[in-house]
Amino acid sequence: MATTTTLAKADEGTATATHAARIEHVSKSYPGPTGQQLVLDDISLDVAPGEFVTLLGASGCGKSTLLNLVAGLDRPSAGAITTDGRPALMFQEHALFPWLTAGKNIELALKLRGVPKSERRDKAEELLELVRLKGAHGKRVHELSGGMRQRVAMARALAQESKLLLMDEPFAALDAITRDVLHDELTRIWRETRLSVLFVTHNVREAVRLAERVVLLSSRPGRVAREWTVGIPQPRRIEDAQVAELSVEITEELRGEIRRHGQH
Amino acid sequence: MASTDTTRPAKEGGDLAGLEAGLDALETVQQGRTPFRQTLVEKILPPAVAVLLVLAVWQGLVSFEIVDDPTKLPAPSDVWHVVHQAWLQGELLGYIWTSVSRGLSGFLLALLIGTPLGLLVSRVKFVRAAIGPILSGLQSLPSVAWVPPAVIWLGLNNSMMYAVILLGAVPSIANGLVSGVDQVSPLFFRAGRTLGATGLKGTWHIVLPAALPGYVAGLKQGWAFSWRSLMAAEIIASFPDLGVGLGQLLENGRNASDMAMVFEAILLILIVGIAIDLLIFSPLERWVLRSRGLLVRS
């Protein structure tokens, strides 16, 4: 269980920080063909330490844009975002570097964080064990299956020892069986590491399956439409009756949001 | 890991690990090595047959006296004789070494200049707008055009040859790196930035390795250009004190109206060019592509 001890360090800061991420009145616009195009409009959202929040929305709601802003890859046009340290980010594509082996990908993250060379190999092995890929250290990225790649990507993100993990539809490109398994894995790892997670998806059931809180964004521009607290105890299953019930309710709301766009 | 399972209900249970191991095993593709026999039949045999055919036609032209003037077309055996003599007199390796050492050291110099130049052009917008088009334009300029000015500026010496090699190879290497960087998925830059690889760290850990396939293609072309430029320079600047390289050998053959020697020089130039590519650049390229899963087995 060495993995939990190394990763538990993330907890030390949470005693003082009251938010893993704080998004305050954030707007973002891009220059478009008809002047400035407003993508995000006055979004306010807090992620508490150790909380799992999903951002849910149809296309055009700017959920990926918001995630990029939180990751610091882009700047908001208005408002402020504060995070407790630099967040880690996982993409829909695994974004592993194909010129490195699975293990070396993780070691690069450790190196860039300043972990001494002598410790990197062991830490990488620990992280691979955490995502149940023991023995995959020397594997090339193209030798791994889609699910394995996302697990290595998860291990690489965890190597940053950030307090906040941002996930941009990380399982959208996987087949249903693999996705289910990775949901279980993510829940397990989230509970073991007590990370805060901000997870973007357009899949309602996935949002309900994973999150403690589901935030629905409206589209064009993206605004916080509604929030749900998911009280169903973890671990859940995507086919659980309670998950299905809440999903139906959220889907209705989401469809209502989408319908508004067809009316004018 | 089993100890953590106690807090969870049985439905998630320990079977997740087993399920995952099963999925991993099902989805992992096994790859074996191509058997040698297949390599022989598919890769080695066809070019060998082609070479033998050319030799047969050549021998036929001479034997059936279709071309019966040995000052125009020497027999393959005459050319072989000349090569053999040069080998026996210990001159053959000298010719080759003179040219290859010039070519490779010129190429290494071009590498040292072309790499930072390419990096600068690909990463700095102003530099790219300023000299990017010139750099690609230079690629289409035959490097032999640089021989006359180089002779006037530097005289008939080795520096002049290096200058011509550099002018031929630097644009290729720099352009290769630029197109390599351009083809890198923006995703890698974003991933690199979230991991903290910015500035020089980003260049070293992300940009350069990501651009390696394009860069190696540029190196390959850079070598071809170096070799051609050098031969042009050696033919024009054949001055005895400079040592006899393959270009000078060709020029000497022409002066002596010794067609067998001319053919000997042409063949050696061709073979050395191919050999360097086969021994250095092709394996390098294959290694880069294979390690990234970019080489499709055919």
How far apart are the C-alpha atoms of A240 and A238, rounded to whole Å? 6
* Domain membership flag for residue A216: yes
Contacts of B216 in chain A (CB under 8 A): none
* Domain membership flag for residue A157: no
Contacts of B187 in chain A (CB under 8 A): 91, 93, 95
Give the residue from A4, A74, A184 with the most B CB atoms within 10 Å of its CB, the best one to mutate: A184
Structure tokens at B45: 């045999």
Helix (H) or strand (E) holding B91: none
Q: Are A27 and A43 in contact (CB under 8 A)?
A: yes
Closest residue on chain B to A144 (Cα): B28
* Domain membership flag for residue A18: yes
Task: Please indicate whether, in this complex, the C-beta atoms of A143 and B9 are within 8 angstroms of each other.
Answer: no
Helix (H) or strand (E) holding A221: none
CB pairs under 8 A between A and B: 105
How far apart are the C-alpha atoms of B192 and B203, rounded to whole Å? 10
Q: What are phi and psi of A226, to 5 degrees?
A: -160, 160
DSSP three-state, residue A93: coil
CA distance B217 to chain A (A): 16
DSSP three-state, residue B95: helix
pLDDT in tens, B112-165: 999 999 999 988 889 888 988 888 888 888 888 888 898 899 888 888 889 999
C-alpha dihedral (B195, A212, A23, A77), degrees to nearest 10 = 80
Residue A173's domain comprises 2-87+162-262
Contacts of A110 in chain B (CB under 8 A): none
- Which pLDDT score, from 0 to 100, does residue A16 have? 53
Contacts of B148 (CB under 8 A, 6+ apart): B236
How far apart are the C-alpha atoms of A157 and A197, rounded to whole Å? 12
Structure tokens at A53: 């929040």
In the Cβ-directed half-sphere of B139, how many Cα atoms lie within 13 Å? Answer: 17
Nearest to residue A157, comparing CAs of A135, A181, A189, A180?
A189
Q: What are phi and psi of A56, to 5 degrees?
A: -120, 140
pTM of structure: 0.78
Q: B216 in the Ramachandran plot: left (φ > 0), alpha (ψ -120 to 50) or beta? A: alpha
Reported as a pLDDT band with limits 50, 70 and 90, residue A10 is very low
* Domain membership flag for residue A35: yes
Contacts of B193 in chain A (CB under 8 A): 73
Give me the residue label for tokens 């001159």: B91
Contacts of B21 in chain A (CB under 8 A): 132
Contacts of A177 in chain B (CB under 8 A): 23
Nearest to residue B264, comparing CAs of B57, B68, B91?
B91
What is the mean predicted confidence (pLDDT) over B186-192?
A: 90
- Which pLDDT score, from 0 to 100, does residue B62 have? 86
In A, what residues contact B, Cβ < 8 A? 1, 4, 71-73, 86-89, 91, 93, 95, 97-100, 108-109, 112-113, 129, 132-133, 140-148, 156, 160, 177-178, 181, 184-185, 187-188, 192, 235, 237
Q: Are A109 and A160 in contact (CB under 8 A)?
A: yes
CB-neighbour burial class of residue A218 (10 A; exposed 0-12, middle 13-18, buried 19+):
buried
How far apart are the C-alpha atoms of A152 and B26, rounded to whole Å? 18
Q: Are A225 and A216 in contact (CB under 8 A)?
A: yes
Give the residue from A64, A107, A112 with the most B CB atoms within 10 Å of its CB, the best one to mutate: A112
pLDDT in tens, A222-235: 888 888 888 888 88
Structure tokens at A150: 């996302």
Closest residue on chain A to B206 (Cα): A97
pLDDT averaged over every residue in chain B = 85
DSSP three-state, residue A27: strand
* Domain membership flag for residue A126: no
Please tell me which of the candidates A73, A99, A178 has its beta carbon nearest to residue B23: A178
Give the residue from A89, A99, A126 with the most B CB atoms within 10 Å of its CB, the best one to mutate: A99
Closest residue on chain A to B10 (Cα): A235
Task: Please indicate whether, in this complex, the C-beta atoms of B293 and A184 are within 8 angstroms of each other.
Answer: no
Q: Other CB atoms closer than 10 Å to residue A111's CB: what's the count?
A: 19
What ipTM score was computed for the predicted complex, to two decimals?
0.81
What is the mean predicted confidence (pLDDT) over B59-79?
A: 83
Greatest Cα pair distance, chain B, in angstroms, is 95
Task: Please indicate whether, in this complex, the C-beta atoms of A148 and B196 are within 8 angstroms of each other.
Answer: no
CA distance A176 to chain B (A): 12
Task: Please indicate whether, in this complex, the C-beta atoms of B17 and A132 are within 8 angstroms of each other.
Answer: yes
Task: Please indicate whether, in this complex, the C-beta atoms of A99 and B210 are within 8 angstroms of each other.
Answer: yes
CA distance A89 to chain B (A): 7
* Domain membership flag for residue A141: no
How far apart are the C-alpha atoms of A134 and A124, rounded to whole Å? 10
Task: Please indicate whether, in this complex, the C-beta atoms of B210 and A184 are within 8 angstroms of each other.
Answer: no
CA distance B110 to chain A (A): 25
Task: Please indicate whether, in this complex, the C-beta atoms of B191 and A98 are within 8 angstroms of each other.
Answer: no
pLDDT in tens, B35-67: 888 888 888 888 899 999 999 998 888 888 887
* Domain membership flag for residue A94: no
Nearest to residue A57, comparing CAs of A264, A263, A253?
A253
Reported as a pLDDT band with limits 50, 70 and 90, residue A124 is very high
pLDDT in tens, B3-36: 444 444 444 456 788 888 888 888 776 666 778 8
Contacts of A184 in chain B (CB under 8 A): 12, 16
* Domain membership flag for residue A122: no
Q: Please name the amino acid found at residue A101.
A: T
CATH of the domain at A79: 3.40.50.300
Task: Please indicate whether, in this complex, the C-beta atoms of B16 and A188 are within 8 angstroms of each other.
Answer: yes
Task: Please indicate whether, in this complex, the C-beta atoms of A181 and B16 are within 8 angstroms of each other.
Answer: yes
What total of structural domains would you count in chain A?
1
How far apart are the C-alpha atoms of A194 and A43, rounded to whole Å? 25
Is pLDDT above 90 for A167?
yes
Task: Please indicate whether, in this complex, the C-beta atoms of B24 and A146 are within 8 angstroms of each other.
Answer: no
Contacts of A133 in chain B (CB under 8 A): 24
Q: What is the CA radius of gyration of chain B?
A: 27
How far apart are the C-alpha atoms of B3 and B22, rounded to whole Å? 22
pLDDT in tens, A192-247: 888 999 999 989 999 999 999 999 888 878 888 888 888 888 888 888 888 888 88
